[in-house]
Amino acid sequence: MDVDLGDARSILAGVGAGVIVLLALYAFVGVEAVLSALSGADPAVVALVSVVSVGWLFAWGMALRTVLSVIAVEVSVWRAFLLLSGATFANNITPFGQAGGEPFSALLVSRSTDTEYENGLAAVASVDTLNFVPSITFALLGVGYYATRFTVGDRMEVAAVALFALALAVPAVAYFGWRNRYRVSDIAVRTAVSVGRLVGRVVPRLDPPRESHVRDRIDGFFAALERVAGDRHQLALALSFSALGWLLLSVSLWLSLGALGYWVPLAAALFIVPLGSVASITPLPGGLGGVDAVLILLIVPVTGVDAGTAAAAAVLHRGATYLLPVLLGGSATAMLEADNVQRSASD
């Protein structure tokens, strides 16, 4: 999978911007307060945070494996873990979260499983869509717990309203798009052909795509989605793996606070983590800086800890769920691509 110089520069620029936002955020909170909180962290619990993070990747890898099996693409447990790690790596180094990383992830799945690109894209898109359901469910359970047990502050009210808006808007848009998928397919074909012809005029060496070829690709994508949606048993299994992954993500934040001496109710993390993940759709790669800011803004009023402790917990949690997956995912991508090259050479 080749990455040209322009792509590399864009990625580096995005990561650089994210690091600047992150540094500004912690400077605002107070670096000394954050370091002071981190100095008292329990090393054993911190190590457990990393173990839980790997468990999250494994659970979502099993969700991807289940979806791939529906479209007759069989992969081993280990390869599914590598594929999901590579997809997470792509999401964490590209802007707009999953939206930015999906094309890369689909190409990785396609090359590593010898399937059509549209099948890989359908599998990745299906897993991303499935992941929305348990995230909102856990968040609603968390906010419901706090609404019945504690006085809800202004920030919590705003977050709760935003949560309910997402819970209504996203399924409505998805349902409308699915019911009108053939119309969406036609629009996508016309748009892709028009853009291709425009690019062909600007870049003479690039041949514009033929409409029949584009339509076959897009129809194949929607056909794969229909196969996934039609297998309710496998869909439920994939959803269960997705829910397990979200639970482990929440446990990661819960343990991060516990490592600093604050064992708050798990319901707090169930509410905070899904809402914090929404910030990953920002132009910053993987929501770097944006997710951290939202986590701190939510941790303080929900748990009652000070800003320095909240920021320190965010450091531990994001280190395990952002930095560690970047390292693991980068290595996984390299391993998969090396295997793809070896298989191509032997054919």
pLDDT in 10s for each residue of the chain, 347 residues: 555 444 566 677 777 887 888 889 999 999 999 999 999 999 999 999 999 999 999 999 999 999 999 888 899 999 999 999 999 998 888 876 666 678 888 889 988 988 888 888 888 888 888 888 888 888 777 777 766 665 555 556 666 666 667 666 766 776 677 677 677 767 766 776 576 566 556 555 555 556 665 566 666 666 667 777 778 898 899 999 999 999 999 999 999 999 999 999 898 898 889 888 877 777 778 888 888 998 998 899 888 899 999 999 999 999 999 999 999 999 999 999 888 888 777 66
Closest CA to 104 of 323, 306, 308, 286: 286
Tell me, yes or no, whether 120 lies in a domain: yes
Looking at the chain, how many residues does it have?
Answer: 347
Tell me, yes or no, whether 126 lies in a domain: yes
Tell me, yes or no, whether 231 lies in a domain: no
User: Can you give the residue range of the structural domain that contains 121?
Assistant: 5-15+31-151+242-292+304-346
Predicted pLDDT at 212 = 63
Tell me, yes or no, whether 223 lies in a domain: no
Predicted pLDDT at 142 = 74
Confirm if 302 and 268 have CB atoms less than 8 A apart: yes
Tell me, yes or no, whether 227 lies in a domain: no
Tell me, yes or no, whether 286 lies in a domain: yes
Predicted pLDDT at 93 = 85
Predicted pLDDT at 284 = 79
Predicted pLDDT at 267 = 86
Q: What is the pTM of this model?
A: 0.83
Domains: count for the chain: 1
**What are the CA-CA distances from residue 15 to residues 78, 94, 299 (Å)?**
29, 8, 25
Alpha-carbon 314 to chain mean position: 17
* CA separation for the pair 199, 205 (Å, rounded): 10
Tell me, yes or no, whether 277 lies in a domain: yes
Confirm if 312 and 41 have CB atoms less than 8 A apart: yes
Among left, alpha and beta (phi > 0; psi -120 to 50; other), residue 222 is alpha
Quote the tokens at residue 345: 């050479």
Alpha-carbon 72 to chain mean position: 24
Predicted pLDDT at 13 = 75
Tell me, yes or no, whether 45 lies in a domain: yes
